[in-house]
Amino acid sequence: MKRRQWHELRPDLVEQIRRDLAANYPTLHLSLEGRWAEVRGTFPVLGEGGRVLDRFQIRIILAPDFPRSLPITFETGGRIPWTAARHVVEHSGAACVLLPDERWKIFPVGAPLLDYLRGPLHSYFLGQLVVEAGGKWPYGEWGHAADGILEFYYDTLGVRTPEAVLRYLAALKRPKLKPHKACPCGSTRHMADCCLVEIKALREKIDAQTATESIEYIKKEIQRRELLEVRTSQRRTGEMLMRVAGQAVGL
Amino acid sequence: MNKNEYLQEILEEQTFESSDQEMKDLRRRRDDIKKLLLEKFSGSTISIRWGGAMAKGTMIRESYDGDMTSYFEHEDTAAGESLSDIFDNVAKALEGDYIVERKTSALRIRDKAYATRGTDFHIDVVPGRYTDDTKADVFIHQNGGSKERLKTNLDVHIDHIKDSGVVDAIRLMKLWNVRYGAGAKTFVLELLTVKLLKGRKGKDLSDQLEHVWKEFRDNAENLSVEDPANPSGNDLKPALDACRWSLSSIARTTLSKIDSDGWESVYGPLKDEEESKESKAAAIHVAVSSATVPTRPWCGEK
């Protein structure tokens, strides 16, 4: 049986989005005509006193599991290059607006779409204007892929290794916490006697799916680093052997 | 300034001059692509020319693309036996120098250079093959459509729009479509506008636009168009169905905004020609420092 999409289950949310867009972003509208629900039109980057500084043509896909899933935004005017440096996915053109793990701080699940438009999306396009003019991302940028995820968890958890972050994420991913298990902080104490309260609080903010996706990113990064180490070591060994062989010939 | 003078000013803002950098870039890129294709298919005579908005005179600054034909002769198989082969082989010929995005019937060209990778060149290359030696009708390949090939005729399309007498209204409708994300395919919107304005050539622009929007609002279910180059073979109903509701809904909002706040609420204030790059940069700087939710972008790729 075909799974029903959010807009079929939540007509109230459809109405709320339409009302909010009409009142605050009249050049955007919600369309339910395609395969997925999407917001289309032009997004104004606003300056002082609501002055429109510039506009970007956009399309925001609200996937079937919205509002749990993040909106997926595309700049459709062909203005922003599809490069990681401009925070656009190269193969699809999707805008990398925010780090999913950080979502709870700025656009938590259930928050109105308006919060996404006014917050991260506005920052994103304002940043694009600055970068387009030759400047740097005005509020900084997360490292790409696993680097950004690790930076975020290093800041949030105060740990310093990918392995430690993975232990925490495993605790976020689990359907149920096991307090008698070792604490992910690495203290060797039981979670119940150590960081249980903090981890419970984190589970309220970062859901299991986000944690699972971040685990995948970090594991891939660990594999990449390991492969790089093996290759570096092989190269060094090869160079050493060449030197030894050269010296032997010289003798 | 009255409403029609305002609309003319908006059109003026949306008009490219031949000396504008964007136009120079388009021409330069077209020449590069032409050279590349002629080298790759050196034994062929390929008809490479501008189609789309460039040829019809309906281009707008806010959203512009150069559609470039790449039509092979009727008997020519240098680029492939089938239309699908031609589509693929032209794409492959371009892939050495460009990132090529395969669209329904066209190939979108993006920059491949490391430093500027992914930059959109605003050019679509449309491969095809003439149906016979008269070099009028063309078959083009269709990805994912109901038919694998589509018969079309560029000159018929160009003449249909150019001779309609409502090019200004078409351009403003295109701007409206882009600005509000109505989602109508440009070709469908052009045909709709021409059809709905039949017998209204002499009316003011504002009257023409209001008429089209009223039709969208009140008669969306019955809107229909046909391809003048292939009335029975190119079914445009699915393309129209995909935007019918949006056209109607946005037209309703637009008309009510004109009533309550005037035309400027639809197309926005006219640009301040005096505004310098410096003052825009200063305004952006102020916006950056006063953001209420400053966030950092991330990217899932390296």
Q: How far apart are CA B146 and CA B238, in angstroms?
A: 10
Q: Which three-class secondary structure state does DSSP give residue B82? A: coil
The encoded tokens of residue A147 equal 């680097």
Q: Which three-class secondary structure state does DSSP give residue B128? A: strand
pLDDT in tens, B69-125: 999 999 999 899 999 999 999 999 999 999 999 999 999 999 988 878 888 999 999
Taking alpha carbons only, the member of A140, A167, A40, A149 closest to residue A100 is A149
Taking alpha carbons only, the member of B2, B14, B18, B1 closest to residue B271 is B14
CB contact under 8 A, A53 and B301: no
Average pLDDT over residues B243-250: 94
Q: What is the pLDDT of residue B43?
A: 87
Pairing status of strand B138-141 against strand B120-130:
antiparallel
CB contact under 8 A, B295 and A124: yes
pLDDT at B274 over 80: no
CB contact under 8 A, A41 and B302: no
Q: How far apart are CA B169 and CA B206, in angstroms?
A: 9
Of B117, B183, B253, the CB nearest to A83: B117
CA distance B189 to chain A (A): 16
Residues from chain B contacting residue A97 (CB–CB below 8 Å):
295, 297-298
Q: What is the pLDDT of residue B273?
A: 65
Interface mutation target, options A7, A62, A87, A228, chain B, most CBs of B under 10 Å: A87
Q: What is the pLDDT of residue A1?
A: 63
Q: Where do we find the tokens 């605003």? A: B122
Q: Which three-class secondary structure state does DSSP give residue B271? A: coil
Other beta carbons within 10 angstroms of residue B225's beta carbon come to: 20
Interface mutation target, options A18, A30, A83, A224, chain B, most CBs of B under 10 Å: A83
Interface mutation target, options A90, A101, A114, A132, chain B, most CBs of B under 10 Å: A90
Q: What is the pLDDT of residue B148?
A: 85
Q: What is the pLDDT of residue B115?
A: 78
Residues from chain B contacting residue A88 (CB–CB below 8 Å):
118, 299
pLDDT in tens, B193-230: 999 999 999 999 999 999 999 999 999 999 999 999 98
Q: How open is the CA angle B237-B240-B242, to the nearest 5 degrees?
A: 110
Mind listing the pLDDT tens digit of every residue in chain A (251 residues)?
677 899 999 999 999 999 999 999 999 999 998 889 999 999 999 999 888 999 999 999 999 999 999 999 999 999 999 999 999 998 889 999 999 999 999 999 999 999 999 999 999 999 999 999 999 999 999 999 999 999 999 999 999 999 999 999 999 999 999 999 999 988 889 999 999 999 999 999 999 999 999 999 999 988 998 888 899 999 899 999 999 888 887 75
Nearest residue of chain A to residue B122 (CA atoms): A78
CA distance A186 to chain B (A): 28
CB contact under 8 A, A31 and B300: no
Q: Where do we find the tokens 């393309």? A: B239
CB contact under 8 A, B302 and A102: no
Q: What is the pLDDT of residue A155?
A: 93
Q: How far apart are CA B181 and CA A58, in angstroms?
A: 8
Residue type, A91: H
Q: What is the pLDDT of residue B191?
A: 97
Q: Where do we find the tokens 């020319």? A: B49
CA distance B18 to chain A (A): 20
Q: How far apart are CA A16 and CA A180, in angstroms?
A: 45
CB contact under 8 A, A122 and B288: no
* Cα–Cα distance list, A50 to A119, A175, B59, B81 (Å): 15, 45, 29, 57
CA distance A139 to chain B (A): 6
Q: What is the pLDDT of residue A225?
A: 87
Residue type, A131: V
